[in-house]
Amino acid sequence: VQLQASGGGLVQAGDSLTLSCTASGRTFRTYNMAWFRQAPGQEREFVAAVSRVGDRSYADSVKGRFTMSRDVAKNTVYLRMNSLKPEDTAVYYCAADVPPVAIYSALADGRVYEYWGQGTQVTVSS
């Protein structure tokens, strides 16, 4: 499985941005998918996930501002980010759990994801 992330950029605080992650494979609809991010000098942290059955999970820091969605026809997941803050600045990575083994409560654990994209930089200026 290959993951290609895109959509990052430099924006101002309060702006919006949408990240995309396109996956290879004919069974995309069965993947658990997630977004993680890593800021300079910090550990990677969970952002959002969508399970193969459509259940969504979000980090508390992004709830109400970020929305993750999936387009099965395009083998793509999206992360719509609204009301961006400087603390959202990070490299964002998409990840896939293939074959899907994680239960809902484990979707925020990076260790369950076998495949990772190359990352896309998001920079939010104040």
Whether the per-residue pLDDT at 122 is higher than 90: the answer is yes
Whether the per-residue pLDDT at 26 is higher than 90: the answer is no
Encode pLDDT of 63-107 as tens digits: 999 999 999 999 999 999 999 999 999 999 999 998 888 888 899
Whether the per-residue pLDDT at 30 is higher than 90: the answer is no
Task: Report pLDDT for 118.
Answer: 94
Tally of CB atoms within 10 A around 38: 14
Closest by CA to 38, choosing from 115, 100, 120, is 120
Task: Report pLDDT for 119.
Answer: 94
C-alpha distances (whole Å) from 22 to each of 7, 11, 91, 103, 105 are 11, 23, 17, 22, 24
Residue % of the chain over a pLDDT of 70: 100
